[in-house]
Amino acid sequence: MIEDAAHSSTGKITGLMARFGMIRGSRRLHPPYSAPIIAALYPPPLSDFFPAMLFQLDSLKIEALAALESLSDEAALEAFRIDYLGKKGKLTAVSAGMRDVPVDLKKEVGAKLNDVRDAITGGLASRLEALQAAKDAAAVAGIDITLPGRPGQGAGSLHPLTQIRDLAVRTLRRMGFTLADGPEIETEWHCFDALNTPADHPARNESDTFYMPDGKLLRTHTSTVQIRTMESAKALPVRIIAPGAAYRRDEIDATHLSVFNQIEALYVDVDVSLADLKGTLEFFFREVFGPNTVVRFRPHFFPFTEPSFEIDVKLEAKGKEARWIEIAGCGMVDPAVFAEISKKRGDSLFDPDKVTGFAFGMGLDRLAMIMHGISDIRHLIENDVRFLQQF
């Protein structure tokens, strides 16, 4: 029996020959021979490439799919891809044989080539997918996804200082005050001189204030915004509020921080009176502390107002004796302040003989502490959730 090296399986060859009509009666010279023997004896006039390429494709497919089975990590799969499907890979090498396929067989062989490429590509993809699925499963192994969720921290709420600042701003805006602002690093003139606070005033002491190397300072009160506003005002009336940070060189304890919060107000027009000041503040504190709040104006001294008062609010807690709490400073703007502004502006909008005004200022931290019965100002900056959750 003659065996062509390329015709490793005579049955297969016969099948192929039959498919392509290669067995003809004229070539059946020895009638009793079976078809396989005839095929072996009379190899069909096929070029060598044809069965060789089909067999190569078939065996490549079997080899590749078997190889895939044993690969268990992404790097090995990538090496496999390069080995079989890469530019210099095995499939590419075999498919180079397409060049020699006679035109009438190209379709058949091409389809086989595509089939093998699809099988290898598909096999690789499903291996990768299985690997990823195994990875995902390992990542959540030991996690019981059927357990109910843990309750979170809730939606949170505004800091008590933010709440009180917003309430103060809202209340004063309803009375016609607009928001104003100024820098926290200030000149000595805006913080002191323009506010009629002379060089020998104790507030200007180096141990009371933070001075910058260039002579500027961290503002010790938001009253500076009064000055900034009047410096740039275009017309009367001026009616502003300015919430913001202020700084003092205080020892930190239960009632002092070196940075705290204030709100300042200024109202200047041709006919502002002490009655306006009292009415405004009484209304304000009743809005903040409740309609029955009792407010007292106690004569005091501030360099920038004359007359000046401290405002006390009567606190009545159940079962305790009522007590007065000092809560704000206020007064009628000192004409010396208007004079200094006029000098700076060079005009007469704030002529001390024509205009009057009132001003007040208070600590927002203190307001929050009184309102909520907070005993230590440090709670306001420590960000302790157990404290903050209460508001």
Question: In angstroms, rounded to a whole number, what is the distance separating the alpha carbons of residues 20 and 41?
Answer: 18
Shortest spacing between CB 248 and ligand DAH, in angstroms: 9
**71 vs 288 by CB, closer to ligand DAH:** 288
Shortest spacing between CB 241 and ligand DAH, in angstroms: 11
**80 vs 260 by CB, closer to ligand DAH:** 260
**102 vs 176 by CB, closer to ligand DAH:** 176
Strand blocks (E) in 224-379: 238-247, 259-269, 295-302, 305-315, 323-333, 356-363
**54 vs 161 by CB, closer to ligand DAH:** 161
**223 vs 356 by CB, closer to ligand DAH:** 223
Shortest spacing between CB 147 and ligand DAH, in angstroms: 55
Residue 213 contacts by C-beta under 8 Å, 6 or more apart in sequence?
A: none
Question: In angstroms, rounded to a whole number, what is the distance separating the alpha carbons of residues 283 and 39?
Answer: 116
Note the Cα 244 to chain centre separation in Å. Answer: 25
Question: In angstroms, rounded to a whole number, what is the distance separating the alpha carbons of residues 249 and 226?
Answer: 22
Cis ω on the peptide bond leading into residue 307 (within 30° of 0)?
yes
**117 vs 366 by CB, closer to ligand DAH:** 366
Q: Count Cβ neighbours within 10 Å for each residue of 44-64 and write b for 16 or more, e otherwise.
A: bebeebbbbbbebbeebbeeb
**57 vs 327 by CB, closer to ligand DAH:** 327
**E strand or H helix that includes residue 218:** strand 217-218
Question: In angstroms, rounded to a whole number, what is the distance separating the alpha carbons of residues 104 and 45?
Answer: 14
The stretches of the chain forming alpha helices (DSSP H) are 10-19, 35-41, 49-69, 74-85, 90-95, 106-139, 160-174, 188-191, 224-232, 274-289, 335-345, 364-372, 385-388
Interface contacts to ligand DAH, rule CB under 6 A:
221, 223, 264, 302, 305, 329-331, 359-361
Shortest spacing between CB 260 and ligand DAH, in angstroms: 10
Question: In angstroms, rounded to a whole number, what is the distance separating the alpha carbons of residues 364 and 217?
Answer: 21
As a whole number of Å, the CA-based R_g of the chain is: 47
CB-neighbour burial class of residue 167 (10 A; exposed 0-12, middle 13-18, buried 19+) = middle
CA dihedral 65→71→77→80, nearest 10 degrees, is: -50
Shortest spacing between CB 215 and ligand DAH, in angstroms: 21
Shortest spacing between CB 359 and ligand DAH, in angstroms: 3
Shortest spacing between CB 368 and ligand DAH, in angstroms: 17
> Is there a contact between 336 and 250 (Cβ–Cβ < 8 Å)?
no
Shortest spacing between CB 171 and ligand DAH, in angstroms: 17
Shortest spacing between CB 386 and ligand DAH, in angstroms: 31
**91 vs 218 by CB, closer to ligand DAH:** 218
On the CB side of 292, CA atoms within 13 Å amount to 3
**243 vs 331 by CB, closer to ligand DAH:** 331
* Among 274, 334, 278, CA closest to 302: 334
Shortest spacing between CB 293 and ligand DAH, in angstroms: 20
**64 vs 359 by CB, closer to ligand DAH:** 359
